[in-house]
Amino acid sequence: MFKGSIVALVTPFKNGEIDFTALKKLIDFHLENETDGIVPCGTTGESSTMTHEEHKSVLSFVVEYVNRRRPVICGAGSNNTEEAVDLVRHAKKIGGDGVLVVTPYYNKPTQEGLFQHYEFLAKKVDIPLVLYNVPGRTGVSLAPETVERLSKIDSIVAIKEASGSLDQVSQILSLCSITVLSGEDSLTLPMMALGAQGAISVTANIVPNLSRRMIHAFLQGDIEEARALHFEMFGLAKVLFIETNPIPVKAGLALMGKIEEQYRLPLCPMSKDNKEKLRNVLSGLGVKIFPSPSK
């Protein structure tokens, strides 16, 4: 159901509050560049520092503004299953096209606990559900065998796989036919060679056109074009993770004049040296740089 270049959208802040004006402009940027789908309030969207009311208000705003022009997959994860149910119900109520649900972080459930978490959500709310495996952020990894079990539940339609392991992708796709989406931008093309159908991408925040072109080139069988675009974006995909995501991508968007460079603690601005590295990569890609709006 979900494939192509799907952006893991940042959440812009201004004076400590959600900047809905900038958020609208970011959505317009992605619609103009034909991004295939939008994910608000994922990890990149800093959902972990939002209140529940803010989280729901951003989801509602994005779904209403996009207005079916692209699929919106609502970030709805929590390490508290009942809390996740509330977010998934909200996504269903507002007309979201699906939900992205990260594995519960910190409490490190067993594989059976992970299975029961997702099964519970799927039984409570009838909405397409995308699993999200990012062990580097959560401390727990969905085993391929658990993904296979979950893939038998009708509403569980895809997995965002961000373990950084091509072996993991190979094992998942050898066991079941669930749609795999890359959550590791520098590995999107190799993952697609194994059978992934696209990406939920951080890099797409900065270069949505290049991200879409690479993924669609591969899907259409133009391997040489896809490879060339992979190498063109590779440096950006690496520098955007030189510090904790979403610090670099928000710094990049601020350099582009699209948002103010604001975070919520415990996230903080990029170091001067790393920001200069980011600036150089953006300049090398021909991205137009403006003075930061916050300066």
Catalytic residue among 3, 56, 160, 275: 160
How far is CA 81 from its chain centroid?
21
Helix axes 144-151, 166-175, angle to 10 degrees: 40
Q: What are phi and psi of 266, to 5 degrees?
A: -90, 5
Beta strands per DSSP E along 112-247: 129-133, 156-161, 179-182, 198-201
132 is catalytic: yes
Answer whether 150's CB lies under 8 Å from 131's CB. yes
Distance from the Cα of residue 28 to its chain's centroid = 18
Single out the catalytic residue among 105, 118, 132, 258.
132
- For the question of residue 160 being annotated catalytic, the response is yes
CA distance 292 to 203: 19
**Amino acid identity of 65?**
Y
Task: Give Cβ neighbours of residue 176 (< 8 Å, ≥ 6 apart).
Answer: 147, 148, 151, 152
Strands (E), the chain: 4-8, 13-14, 17-18, 37-39, 73-75, 98-102, 129-133, 156-161, 179-182, 198-201
| Catalytic residue set | 132, 160
